Amino acid sequence: MAKITNIEDLKQIYKRRVPKMFYDYCESGSWTEQTFRENSSDFDLVRLRQRVAVDMTGRSTATKMIGQDVSMPVALAPVGSTGMQHADGEILAAKAAEAFGVPFTLSTMSVCSIEDVAENTTKPFWFQLYAMKDKDYTKRVIQRANDAKCSALVVTLDLQILGQRHKDLKNGLSIPIRPTMGNIVDLATKWRWIAGMAKTKRHQFGNIVGHIDGISDMSSLAIWASESFDPKLNWEDVKEIKKMWGGPLILKGILDADDAKMALQVGADAIIVSNHGGRQLDGALSSIRVLPSIMDAVGDKIEVHLDSGIRSGQDVLKAISMGAKGTYIGRAFIYGLGAMGQEGVTSALDVIHKELDTTMALCGETQVEDLGRHNLLVPEDFDGRWRQ
């Protein structure tokens, strides 16, 4: 087996083992993919302050996210169709996260259902909600998450309409899947993936099929899904969701200080600075670049997390040092999952943890909660001198 020393190693194995249409689904953004690229490259603009002659023993990356103990300030982000990247993908990723001591977030658009994941894990996980036009479905899926003892609800706010993702369209990635001839040929070479899919019973969106009248297969799901995301979603709706849920509420997709203030007003427990991994509004700023302005606006009043672009433990350290209390990895854990299943997700977490721990030490810190702007060298114009 190849020696895994960084997330890129997992990505290369992932690319070889997973069908191209699902690789492209993960490794792409909308339109020109500018925001997708800058989510990662903007981290490179932030440099680290090395400190020496500091006692580096007794280090700990442990902290809390929304009051929950975590082994490091990293959660697995909600990723749709994770169960198509690897058979039973959501279950395997949740198991890896549980064993590592970090949160797993299950997507509404998951292949494995809420109940599936709950039956195969022993600790609470988080559930991500898309607001749908079907209010009865929204109410019922929130109740299902409560019944499964999910410990937080993550509401995604930036997918009222779908951003155009050219690769998905060209690959025929739809519901049901309509692969191109090129992808059919590619699929024939992915014997490991095919063998895994042949062994599992989970091939549909488990949180939807069988839970809505008239939806019993992928074809009927296609019609429903194309019409179901709620373009009317507003802050009053968020208040109603908070009432229905009754537990810790995290709002994902905040990229503007004014929206961060609104999240505070509706009573969210945390916000996730995120641009959906560059898959929605292309041309938006990277998450790490807007983090300082959001911290200035609400940072001492609400817990701020960051998603989009994190590929290393150093990225985690930079986000935490700039004020975030937690971070999320999506593509990084998907690379591991597609490469080696549950073991690959664990490997991704191991890599990030080691990078975070080592970098923290070389920056002269022993406790992750002591990280701050004093550990960074940030360009003077990093926040941007943008005009509205």
Q: Report the catalytic residues.
A: 276
Say whether 306 sits in a helix, a strand or coil: strand
Q: Are strands 303-306 and 270-273 parallel, antiparallel or unpaired?
A: parallel
| Cα atoms in the Cβ-side hemisphere of radius 13 Å centred on 177 | 19
Q: Counting Cβ atoms within 10 Å, is residue 161 exposed (0-12), middle (13-18) or buried (19+)?
A: exposed
What DSSP state is assigned to residue 129? E
For residue 113, what are its two tokens? 């259902």
Distance (Å, rounded) from C-alpha 13 to C-alpha 286?
Answer: 27
- DSSP codes joined into one string, 229-266: B-TT--HHHHHHHHHHH-S-EEEEEE-SHHHHHHHHHT
290, 296 contact by CB (below 8 A) = no
Q: Counting Cβ atoms within 10 Å, is residue 98 exposed (0-12), middle (13-18) or buried (19+)?
A: middle
Cβ neighbours of residue 194 closer than 8 Å, sequence gap 6 or more? 187
Q: Which of 350, 347, 319 is nearest to 335 (CA)?
A: 347
Distance (Å, rounded) from C-alpha 281 to C-alpha 284?
Answer: 6
Q: What are phi and psi of 127, to 5 degrees?
A: -120, 130
Distance (Å, rounded) from C-alpha 236 to C-alpha 222?
Answer: 28
Please give the distance of CA 42 from its chain centroid, rounded to a whole number: 18
7, 348 contact by CB (below 8 A) = yes
Omega into 78 within 30° of 0, i.e. cis?
no
Cβ neighbours of residue 169 closer than 8 Å, sequence gap 6 or more? none
